[in-house]
Structure 1
Amino acid sequence: MSESAARRLSRMFQLISFAIDAKQDHLSHLDGAIGDADHGITMSLGFTAVNSELAKLDLGRTLPSDVFSAAATAFLNAVGASTGPLYATAFRRAAQALKPLESLSPADQAIIIEAMAAGIKDRGKGQRGDKTMLDAWIPAAEAAAEAVSRGATAAEMWNSILAAAEDGANATRSMVAARGRAARLGERSLGHMDPGSASAVIILSAMREAFTEGCS
């Protein structure tokens, strides 16, 4: 990358925030079918707070791990609902996995996805098939690891990550929710996409844009 890894990550969080804001009403609409209809608002607040906090950093002197640590604290402070601790844990795991790296190769980018997925899974005590954001994050992490193992380019890796996440999110329509507020609906949750998996796809799409900008 021609710019510092910290600046690239800051750009990544900006793109995530822009993308979430653009889809805020859609996410809340999805949540309205099986939850409290506030997922879009919650995610927007969280990433707005992240970007406000990152704006205070001297990115020329900041390690990638420090960017994720700051993001974790900001997101958790802004979002008190269950999504807050989940993404805060995801960002903290990414921070731990990146220490003490100063650059971000495609393999390091894959590590971010794997660490975030593991953090969400451990914090939420969930698994694939529960009709949650993990139905997008787990396939994304698996796709990232597989892409690295076959020596894929960054663009190829991110295309695989996003395709796996999209397939996982779409699959939640045929699932009965086993966790979260949607679990109270039982069979009535069938036919609806999980909003958390939908926002995960938006996040991963923005991450792809950030990490492949300028790539041939």
Structure 2
Amino acid sequence: MATRVYECLKSIGEKIIENKDFLTDLDREIGDADHGVNMARGFQGVIEKVAQDDPDIGAVLKKTGMTLLSTVGGASGPLYGTAYMEAGKVLAGKNEISTDDFLAAFDAAIAGIQKRGKAEKGEKTMLDSLIPAREAFAEAAQGGADLKSSLDAACKAAEEGIEFTKTIAATKGRASYLGDRSIGHQDPGATSATITLETIRDFL
């Protein structure tokens, strides 16, 4: 299972790298034009540095978070790094992931992002995709859906979250300097978060 977690992380990295220019173009509209470049650099580091055969899933995620924290510039490094490290704490010592485990890790990742970024849903950030995705995942799982089906629901909600970010002004980060001029543009962080969830779903 741990090897498959690495393979999933590698798939996420490859998808982020594939979308590097797209994410950077989104960030050019409302930010520093570096989100895609920074995220691609960070996940290239994950692919190269994270152990492929560590049986401890939590340790793999912790190493992923530390790598992103040290290699991704801007605000994304601390936020994504924290998300993976907090998820890793929940999954420490585990070599399999159940639907309940995934939800617990999801909750920890979101809480870490909120604490680190001092942000909430509705401020044009990655949380506008992640929080609705978490809610949809939990609702599906509680209704008896398996991990894959729960992720399907989460991805749909995350995509709707991206659309929502186009309708609101940014109040956090560099984009907040634009005020109402940020309306009409989708948030790069919400987009990379959705790409991450969709890649996990597709991997499964």
Deviation per residue, 1:14-40 (Å, 9 max, x gap): 111111111111111111110111111
Amino acid at match of 2:161: G
Question: Equivalent residues in 2 for 1:1-216 (5 A)?
Answer: 4=1, 6-54=2-50, 57=51, 59=53, 61-210=54-203, 212=204
List runs of 5+ in structure 2 lacking aligned partners: none
Q: Distance in 1 between matches of 2:140 and 2:191?
A: 22
* 1:121 CA drift (Å): 1.2
Report the alpha carbon displacement of residue 92 of structure 1 after superposing the two structures with TM.
Answer: 1.1
In the aligned structure 1, how far is the partner of 2:78 from the partner of 2:87?
14
Please tell me whether the aligned partners of residues 3 and 52 of structure 2 are also in contact (alpha carbons under 8 angstroms): no
* Aligned partners of 1:20 and 1:40 also within 8 Å: yes
Instruction: Tell me the TM-score normalized by structure 2.
Output: 0.96
TM-score of the superposed pair, with normalisation by structure 1: 0.90
Stretches of structure 1 that go unaligned for 5 or more consecutive residues are none
**C-alpha contact 2:19 2:36 (8 A) present in aligned 1:** yes
> Residue 63 of structure 1 contacts residue 101 of structure 1 at CA under 8 Å; is this kept in 2?
yes
Query: What is the identity, as a one-letter code, of the residue corresponding to 1:20?
Result: I
Aligned-pair identity in percent equals 39
Q: How far is the alpha carbon of 1:58 from its aligned partner?
A: 5.5
Amino acid at match of 1:40: G
In structure 1, how many angstroms separate the alpha carbons of the residues matched to 2:103 and 2:7? Answer: 18
Counterpart-to-counterpart distance in 1, 2:52 and 2:167: 46
Q: Distance in 2 between matches of 1:80 and 1:27?
A: 14
Q: Is residue 113–residue 144 contact of structure 1 (8 Å, CA) maintained in 2?
A: no
CA distance in 1, matches of 2:102, 2:174: 32
Q: 1:106 Cα shift?
A: 2.1
Task: Return the alpha-carbon distance in structure 2 between the equivalents of residues 11 and 100 of structure 1.
Answer: 19
Distance in 2 (CA, whole Å) between partners of 1:186 and 1:209 is 36
Contact kept? 2:6, 2:52, Cα under 8 Å: no
Task: Give the Cα separation in 1 of the matches to 2:102 and 2:114.
Answer: 19
Structure 1 ranges of 4+ moved more than 6 A: none
